[in-house]
Amino acid sequence: MDKEIATPTKTTEIIKKYGFSFKKSFGQNFLIDTNILRKIVDFALLTESSGVIEVGPGIGALTEQLAKNSKKVLAFEIDRRLEPILTETLDPYSNVNIVFEDFIKADVARYINENFQEIDDLVIVANLPYYITTPIIMKCLNEQLPVKRIVVMMQKEVASRLNAKPGTKDYGSLSIAVQYYTTVEVVMNVPRTVFVPQPNVDSAVVRLTSRPQPLVSVKNEAYFFQVVKASFSQRRKTIVNNLMAGLEKGKEKKEILLTALHEAKIDPRRRGETLSIEEFARLSDYLYDYFHEK
């Protein structure tokens, strides 16, 4: 192909040729800056033996760069209208496989088994639709896919939440879930001007590197996340009030909650947003013992 896809001229040409119209419901914003795409690929630390999963290839701008820098690319695209475009734009790359399926609903583990059997450096790289960024990241983490790194572009505001520290307004259950499984780096900010159509927010590229073991050790992972979720349900409330409202039989067991908080050395008048991940781990272990074993 004579020209790379991610230039304003080439992108406009492709869109016109196929009479493509952007669908707001799919959060479609195409990148028209090749340098930024190359940087994303650099941050993904790909080698000739890497396998890549992409979510939402659009017209193939990032896919093209991934194909040039890895062994194999598997891209999930929800919008079937893009099929003829992707067939043309990615025709030069025999190492790309496009699956027209909703990534959120797809059995990704099965696709990994079928497509990446000999590959042990598996990376997710994507320019994520803003409206579905969090569910996509949480699916990758909750399903514990055998992925080494996740390098994704997202709304700057969401990137701040992933990387947030206790005591800040951005810190919440999402920060804890992501930091529990991965180390988080915001590697690049991206202006809104390099997209078509132009979104009304700026973006950031985040690299999540899987931890060999979760950040903290807990007796029951599902219960740990339940405690975290309950603690943030109403940010202005104290942790004891949130736990009373958010945990099963919490109201009846206020004394037990207070005892567990005391044993975990956490003042019940604190708000959830001030607790570190280590404190949440300690608290959830005490609560788990009281609520499930006594």
What is the helix (H) or strand (E) element at residue 188, kind and residue range? strand 182-190
Cβ–Cβ under 8 Å, residues 168 and 232: no
Tell me which residue of 204, 208, 202 sits closest to 189, measured CA to CA: 204
- 77 known ligand binder: yes
- Which residues, in sequence order, are bridge partners of residue 125? 151
Tell me which residue of 227, 205, 225 sits closest to 215, measured CA to CA: 225
Tell me which residue of 31, 25, 66 sits closest to 191, measured CA to CA: 31
- 19 known ligand binder: no
Parallel, antiparallel, or unpaired: how do β-strands 30-31 and 182-190 relate?
unpaired
The angle formed by the CA atoms of residues 217, 220 and 226, to the nearest 5 degrees, is 110
Helices and strands (H, E) in the chain, number of each type = 12, 9
3-state SS record for 8-72: HHHHHHHHHHHCCCCCHHHCCCEECCHHHHHHHHHHCCCCCCCEEEEECCCCCHHHHHHHHHCCE
- 127 known ligand binder: yes
- 242 known ligand binder: no
- 51 known ligand binder: no
**Distance between CA atoms of residues 204 and 184, nearest Å:** 12
CA distances from 290 to 163, 225, 256, 258, 277 (A): 32, 17, 7, 11, 20
**Distance between CA atoms of residues 109 and 121, nearest Å:** 15
CA distances from 209 to 45, 49, 185, 213, 282 (A): 11, 18, 8, 12, 24
Binding positions for S-adenosyl-L-methionine are: 29, 31, 56, 77, 102, 127
Give the residue numbers of the binding site.
Answer: 29, 31, 56, 77, 102, 127
